[in-house]
Structure formats: structure tokens, C-alpha cells
A = this chain, B = another copy of it.
Amino acid sequence: MFPDARILDVDLTHQVVKVKILPGEIYRRYPGGSALGLYLMLQYMPPGIDPLSPENLLVFSVSPLTGLPISGQSRVVITTKSPLTGAIGDSQAGGFFPAHFKANGWDAVVFRGKSEGPVYLYIDGENVTLRSAEHLWGKVTGEVETLIKEEIGNQGLEIAQIGPAGENLVRFACVINHCNRANGRTGTGAVMGSKNLKAVVVKPAKPRSPASKEGFSSLNKNVVARLRENQAVTGLGQYGTAGDLDGFNEIGFLPTKNWRTGFFPEGADNISGSTMAETILTGRDTCYACAVRCKRVVEVSGRVDPLYGGPEYETAAALGSYCGVTSLETVALANQLCNMYGLDTISCGGTLSFAMECYETGLIDQTTTDGMELNFGNQEVVPRLIEMIAKREGFGNLLAEGSARAAEKIGGGAKDFSMTVKGQELPAHMPQFKPSVGLIYAVNPFGADHQSSEHDPFLVTDPESQERRWLAQLGVWKGYQDTYALDDEKVRFAFDTQCYFSIVDTLGLCQFVWGPSWELYGPTDMVDLCKYGVGWETSLFELMRIGERRINMMRYFNAREGFARAHDTLPERIFKPLPDGHSRGIALDRDQFAEALTTYYQFAGWDIETGNPTDVTLRKLSLAWLLELA
């Protein structure tokens, strides 16, 4: 009943494309996303290789649900060994590329080796070819889109590509599709660059039909009804993800000036989603078949091109408040440059703000910064530095390594200014305010990530709300009313919702549609989606176990690479009281955090000394084959 996975295996060294079939019986255990990616990587790749060497694998994968005619299903995951963290790399993006990739008949593509010269992969159903990308190398994403569409003669092509940042092996280079959707995190773009792979191009394909039209239609009706009444999602459509930015500032939890404070009174209103909606917003964009339309389209005549989309919350914070930037236009331009050059906006902003703090504290000066004054709030230097990073020019070459590596080179306490976990810069949610998110930042196998668990639903006190009712289906029923608690209940909340988000990610679903807090689709709807979409009669029990399996595979991957408990921590600053605003005096309690970390390991079935999955846990999750491989 479960479909086989059809996998493209691309040997870039020998320019050979093969088709591999993973039987449905196995695919069902790793049904898409990085679960599938990890299954392939752990099978084929030994530990200890250099992420930027030809030995690294790079997997694009979707899921059996990708491209079905319903909101929030067009997501592609890239899995690889991360050049930023040295741990497992995992990054997700929406758009139209994922739906068309799947509609062409493919579930994953594995890239191995390294091409002698630049190439791109062109997928036209069963015709899959490697083509020269010599003429595209060095070009920004918008130019490449135009050139490939002209070359192939099809304006509907969907293109996932690296920009110059990926070519130049910037450790936080990303993969961009549609010029404005990013597989942003963990430096997957650098791995593409290291393989001389410029792009993956898919021809638009015939839309998929669900297994049950009737069931599907009822699922779609539900969401249309919920959308109408739903203020959260209406707000998301109206203001984008940056709609929350000024609210976070008001309560004092908007990471500002490299996280020295959570309070950004001079700039929060300027760079918020509501200001964007009133000023530079010219349209709303969406992903394949999605009714939410959360994507921003912005324009500043002669300066910001609508092609590259508008800033998300994370981007507005990282390139805005992190750096003290108060100009929305600057934030929009910085966002555009990241999408042109192919840089992760979060790591980019986190690295820039790190550099600014080094500068302000005198750890570096203009002799290091090529003469630039890197004070917080210096609007001019941000766009300039982004280009320098992407091109690895001058001081940009140091920052292209990310803040953690840069801190090591700078020395003298710079380490304290690198707001990273496992070398990856923190997204803009403050663990001081959302302790369970802090815990997940610390334990998440691919570095700090804000989309790997439900955030403490601190605002949801109504037990009859849809969010609370859905969380109850996950067995979460108590204890999370207390924002600052990090007790057993909160740890279980973190772990169980992490497993839930893990299956959401595995199935390539969008968390803005399928995460409980948005109150559009809930856990049982996901079970129905599998049934009506592809005839997969599953249960939330099976799905949660898959989610848990994926997390354990990631941890196992990391354990092979030498990661241990010491890597599951947060920057020192998080444990120190915030200085001002409404959050003044608040810190994450260090002992409470350490205790919660132990509890988390225990609940997860991991060794409390090392943080690695025990053999028993692997066996319980049908992962004994990993032990046999070892």
C-alpha cells in the first residue's frame, strides 16, 4: 500500500545518473524529508569526511504527500553533512519547486562526488540530464533564472540553485529556489558549490491527484472555513511572519544588538511586518496550492526588486535588530542580497552582529574591517558586508566562516559574542522567554533551530482553543501555561512536539499550516491527509514514532562525528539577566537548564553523559541496522 521511493542517484564525478528504487516497505519507515536523506546517507557515507569534499553526499528529498492539492505541502529538504557545524545538515524550503519535483515522478535525488566543471541537473520526467553551468558560474540567482529559462525555452521552470556564496564555499551559503525561497540553514549551498553543482532544474509537471477526491475535498473545506475565522493566519497573510516583531519587542524578547538585550525601542516599529505592510509591501506570494499566502513581495524603486521577496521575521530580526538596523529599506535590501548571493539570512545577520560587538568592544578595529566602522546600527555597512561575505572579499572572507570560526581567529573573548549552538547562529526566539525552545536549540541535531518544536504556547490559556485541543492529542495537557518553567511537563512538551514537528518535516509539510499553533490543520488531519492523499492508512502513533526515529538517526549521525553532551548548550549570554525593557532581570536558569537537559535525554532514551541514543533506543526504533553497519 505504501509507494516505493524513486530516487535519482547522481554521480557528479563520473557524470552518471542512475535510478534507484527503495521499496515501500522500507520507505514507510523513512517517508521523506531528512528521514529519507539520513537513511541514504547513513547507508552510504562513512563518518569523518570533510563536508566540502567530494565524499560528502547531498540529498534533495520530498515526501509522498508533496504536491498534493492542499495548503502547506510543497517543501523540499536538503540533507548533507554541514560545513557550518560538522554535524548533520538539514534545511527546508517551500515554493513551487518541491511540488514539481515530485510531480516529475521523483522522491529524492542524491548527489555524490564532484563535477570537474560547473553543471546543473535538469529533470524532465524520466529524462534527467547533467548540463554545463560554466556560463552560469559567478552569477546571482536572478540572472541564472533568466538564463536557464531562456536556454531551455520554458518560463515555468522551477530552479533550486546556489548563488556566488555557495560557489565560494561560504559556510552558511544556502540554496535558493524561485529567487526567494531558501533552504536556508546549515550551509547546504556550500556543499553544492564544493561539488560544482550550480542548480537543480525541474520542468513543470502535471498536478497530482489525491487517492480520494472526496476525503481530500472535505479536508480542503475544513481549512477554508478555519482560514476565514482564524486571526493568527489572517495576520500571517496580512503582515507575514514579521508581524510578531514589534510584539516581541514590547515584551522585551526581540534579540537586539547581538542578543545583548531583548529590547529595541528605536527600531522595532520601523522594521516590523505591520510597517512593511503600510510601506514597501506590494503583494503577497504563496507556495504551490497554498491558501495562506504568507510570503512577502516588497519593492523599493531602483533599490529593492520584488523578484527577491520580502523579509521574514527571522530575517528582519537577524539583519535588523541583531545589528541595530532601524531602516526597513536596509533590511529589505539585505534580504535581497542574501537571496541573490545565496546566503542564510539568520547566520548572516548573526555573524554581522557578532562582528559589530567585536568592533564595539575593541576586539577588532578598522585595520581588520577594511576600514569599516562596525557600530551597531550602522545601516551602510550591512549590505556592503553581505556582498563581501558572498565574494569572500577582505574582512568578508573571515565572516564567511560564520561567527564561531571567526571568533576562534579573533580570539580574546570573541567566543562569548558568537551566539551559536554547534556553530550555527541562533534564530530570533529568546530562550529566556521560551525555555523549551532554548532546550530544543541546544539539543537539536542540526544546530539551533526554531522550527523543531512547538513554541511554549504562553499566550494560549483557553483550554478549549484549537491549539490546546490539538496539543492534547499529543498528550500535552498541562504545565505549559507556565512560561518560565522548564520542568518535566515542559520537557515532555518539548520532546513530544519535537517528534511531531519531526514528522511534519519528514512529510515535507509547512509548519504554518500543520503546526498546532496556527490552528489550521492538526494531528488527526495529518493522518487523514496520508489516507486521502496517497491511501496510506497510518496513525499518529506510527507518525510520531517516525518523527522520533528521524531525530535519533540525526543524533546517531552526530555521535559518529564526535558530538556529545558538551555540544548541547547555549551561549553564556542566555544565562545572564537581560538589562532593560520588560524582560529586565530575566535569564534562563543555568541549573534548571542542565537538569532539563538531563531529563530530556532520559525521556528521549539517550545516554545522559554523552547525549547519544543508546543501543536500546536505536533497537526500539527499528534502527538496529545502524549498529550492524558500525
Contacts and interface: CB of A to CB of B under 8 A. Distances in A.
A477 B602 contact: no
Contact of A474 (B463, B523, B541): B541
Interface string A533-554: 0000111111111000000000
A29 B477 contact: yes
Contacts of A537: 469, 472-473, 524
Contacts of A603: 616, 619-620
A469 B616 CA distance: 26
Interface string A65-86: 0000000000000000000000
A539 B620 contact: no
A295 interface: no
A92 to B, nearest CB: 23
Nearest to A500: B541
Contacts of A211: none
Contacts of A478: 25, 622
Contacts of A545: 475
A477 B25 contact: yes
A599 interface: yes
Interface in A447-473: 463-464, 469, 472-473
A478 B26 CA distance: 10
Interface residues of A, number: 37
A545 B605 CA distance: 16
A533 to B, nearest CB: 15
A527 interface: yes
Contact of A541 (B29, B523, B620, B622): B523
Given A602-B620, A619-B488, A620-B602, A473 B542 contact: yes
Contacts of A619: 488, 599, 602-603
Interface string A586-630: 000000000000010011010000000000100110101000000
Contact of A539 (B28, B463, B474, B488): B474
B541 A624 contact: no
B620 A492 contact: yes
Nearest to A542: B475
B464 A1 contact: yes
| Most-contacted residue by chain B among A478, A489, A539, A602 (CB, 10 A) | A539
Contacts of A473: 537-539, 541-542
Interface in A510-541: 523-524, 527, 537-541
Contacts of A539: 473-474, 523-524, 527, 539-541
Contacts of A463: 25
A541 B523 CA distance: 10
Interface string A4-17: 00000000000000
Contacts of A29: 477
Nearest to A488: B619
A542 B29 CA distance: 20
Interface in A81-105: none
Interface in A193-247: none
A125 to B, nearest CB: 29
Nearest to A464: B1
B475 A541 contact: yes
Contacts of A538: 472-473
Interface in A78-137: none
Contact of A1 (B469, B474, B488): B469
A525 to B, nearest CB: 11
| Most-contacted residue by chain B among A464, A540, A602 (CB, 10 A) | A540
Contact of A524 (B25, B527, B605): B527
A523 B542 CA distance: 11
Nearest to A495: B620
A478 to B, nearest CB: 7
B541 A477 contact: no
Contacts of A524: 527, 537, 539
A603 B618 CA distance: 10
A608 to B, nearest CB: 10
A15 to B, nearest CB: 37
Contact of A540 (B25, B28, B541, B616): B541
Contacts of A474: 539, 541-542
Nearest to A531: B524
Contacts of A523: 539, 541
Interface in A476-490: 477-478, 488-489
Contacts of A605: 605
26 contacts: A1-B464, A1-B469, A29-B477, A469-B537, A472-B537, A472-B538, A473-B537, A473-B538, A473-B542, A474-B539, A474-B541, A474-B542, A475-B541, A475-B542, A475-B622, A478-B622, A492-B622, A524-B527, A527-B539, A539-B540, A539-B541, A540-B540, A541-B541, A599-B619, A602-B616, A603-B620
Interface of A: 1, 25, 28-29, 463-464, 469, 472-475, 477-478, 488-489, 492, 523-524, 527, 537-545, 599, 602-603, 605, 616, 619-620, 622, 624
The 10 A-B residue pairs with the shortest CB-CB distance in the complex, in nearest-first order: A539-B540, A473-B539, A540-B541, A602-B616, A541-B544, A475-B542, A603-B620, A541-B541, A475-B545, A488-B619
